[in-house]
Amino acid sequence: MSSQIEVPHIETLFKLDGYLTTHEAEIRRRYGCFQSLLKQIDTNEGGLEKFSRGYENFGIHRTPDNGIRMLEWAPGAEGIALRGDFNGWNQTQHQFKKLDFGKWELVIPPNADGSCPIKHNTKIKLVMNTKAGKLEDRLSPWAIRVTREEKVPVYDQVFWDPPQKYVFKNKHPSKPTSLRIYECHVGIASWQGKVATYPEFTKDVLTRIKYLGYNAIQLMAIMEHAYYASFGYQVTSFFAASGRFGTPEELKELIDTAHGMGIIVLLDVVHSHASKNVVDGLNMFDGTDSCYFHGGPRGIHDLWDSRLFNYTEWETLRFLLSNLRWWIEEYQFDGFRFDGVTSMLYHSHGMGHGFSGDYNEYFGLNTDTESLTYLTTSNHMLHSLYPDFMITIAEDVSGMPALCRGVTEGGGGFDYRLAMSLPDMWIKTLKEKSDDDWDLTNIIHTLTNRRYTEKCIAYAESHDQALVGDKTLAFWLMDKEMYSHMSELSPPSIVVDRGMALHKMIRLITMGLGGEGYLNFIGNEFGHPEWLDFPRVGNNESFHYCRRQWNLVDDNNLKYKYLYNFDHDMQHLEAAYGWLAPMAQQYVSRKNQGDKVVVFERVNKLLFVFNFHPTNSYTDYKIGVNTPGKYPLHLSGSTKSESN
């Protein structure tokens, strides 16, 4: 009986939201599924800590005597062999031995001179003998380095065993109370038309992030993905850092340097689905359509055209939980932004579902308990093993209640969820309404409509809004005028003046009211023009829109510097007053639709006043405050001046 399942702190959850008591039995049942999985792991694997270190045994490893040991799980295979540079690419010479439970092992002794038979940075591939009687090339799911030749679409696994491993100099920074995230993509981080590198990002971009005042970066597209234009969301090798940006050691140096600046580093982790690639992905790894995934239609995401994991499969759980541990232990990441959480949470994957807020939508049969149990287990593991620095963020648009409450309360265990309705609201407002028609009541409601004590990351735009087919906020506001009137020498433009003012106001009111954290996508802080489009056949493999034009903000003759400086002052003001901290006082004292004025207070110290009226300005405008007195000006959105 689910009503008899003990959830240690469920009453805390019910005190925060009494309506959840209607679904108490379901909350207890879900917690019971999580506890059952933990018990199985403890019984069969010696605990979650040991179970989640699968990378220490699976994949390829050099043994203490300089031999090679390799362990793989391929339950549908008839046999496995290893070939590569080391054996002249012989398909049958080095055969694996079959073990229990679908596992296969290969041991290669050291050379006669005591050296390792497979040299560092040489290519290898698995040869899978399928039930169809074919010998097919595969990459190890546990590969930590994969590369490809220029103009060759298929990746090769590389045995990565550098003689000198990177030694980290800095510890994980402490978990900040106010989270200000700079969302980054290493490859687009140069103004030049090319794929930027880890060293270039370390040298050129980290200093900008530190100057602006962000205390966290979220790295996208790190997990290797064969298709560059997928933005990193069609992962092919889960344990390999993307080789198109540089070596694993160079990524480690990037993270270490960020830590030395006091900046935490979050990984955009994709455990919601995987690429359909076969030769250099997980799909059909052992010759069957299941293995790590659901077989049949349940294993296919129709919209994304990708494979869906089977979160009840023992070795899939080992693989994914170990993947999280790997990025922390090997690369020293401080946390994760989990991609595609809504897709994981529901059998419908959230497709065609508006989520009205009716609790029956969250606690009915559409919820995928298996996926939710995996996410809960992941959060439990991460926060138990790394309590001092771990941060997890859910990309969830559904608003699943308790997703961002503690596991012991019956929650999902995430620290934050993305406030995904906010950028949609801003884009919709800019697309469909003139300035005169902006509905301040709807804007303020959307900014403040979030679950009490479940923290949200607010943002006005992210990478999603910048992709081809859409435009950045700055381009929505100023469009073609950005090509002709962003110079200090250009004649005045009311479009540019209005656009720069609204760009500042949208970002400040979003950061001021929208959540307990804030996110900005690389370059958008200075009003990056146009959109983002990766090289592909459809654009003749052009990099023109696949870069960040730092030259615009660095040119003192252009007006981009004013947006850049405003963002700098906005971040530093939050750092000084901490209005993003959980439970910080937030009170909207005025939203006057006629005057287009919004007033609110934060942390009993800051008074925010916005005039969104397109033509009217006001003097001696009376507003109420909680604490009477004189309020010095800290931040001003005047178009020309840098903020005070």
Residues noted as catalytic: 339, 395
As given in the structure block, the two tokens for residue 337 are: 């932004």
Crossing angle between the packed helical segments 314-329 and 369-385, to the nearest 10 degrees: 30
Within 10 Å of residue 176's Cβ, how many Cβ atoms? 19
Q: How far from 266 is each of 271, 373, 414, CA to CA, in Å? A: 15, 22, 14
DSSP secondary structure string for all residues of 270-334: --S-B---STTSSTTTTSSS-TTB--GGGGEETTTTEE-B-TTSHHHHHHHHHHHHHHHHTT---
DSSP-assigned beta bridge partners for residue 575? none
Task: Report the DSSP pairing between strands 59-62 and 68-73.
Answer: antiparallel
Angle at CA 550, nearest 5°, toward 187 and 425? 80
Between CA 473 and CA 428 the distance in angstroms is: 11
Contact criterion met (CB below 8 Å) for 548 and 523: yes
Contact criterion met (CB below 8 Å) for 80 and 95: yes
E strands, 100-168, are 103-108, 122-129, 135-138, 146-147, 156-159
Task: Report the DSSP pairing between strands 103-108 and 146-147.
Answer: unpaired
Contact criterion met (CB below 8 Å) for 404 and 347: no
Cα 10 to chain center, whole Å?
29
Map residue 267 onto helix, strand or coil.
strand
Give Dmax over CA atoms of the chain in angstroms. 90
Residue where the block lists tokens 């009170």: 587
Between CA 76 and CA 71 the distance in angstroms is: 15
Cα 631 to chain center, whole Å?
38
Angle at CA 226, nearest 5°, toward 224 and 231? 70
Map residue 335 onto helix, strand or coil.
strand
Between CA 560 and CA 475 the distance in angstroms is: 12
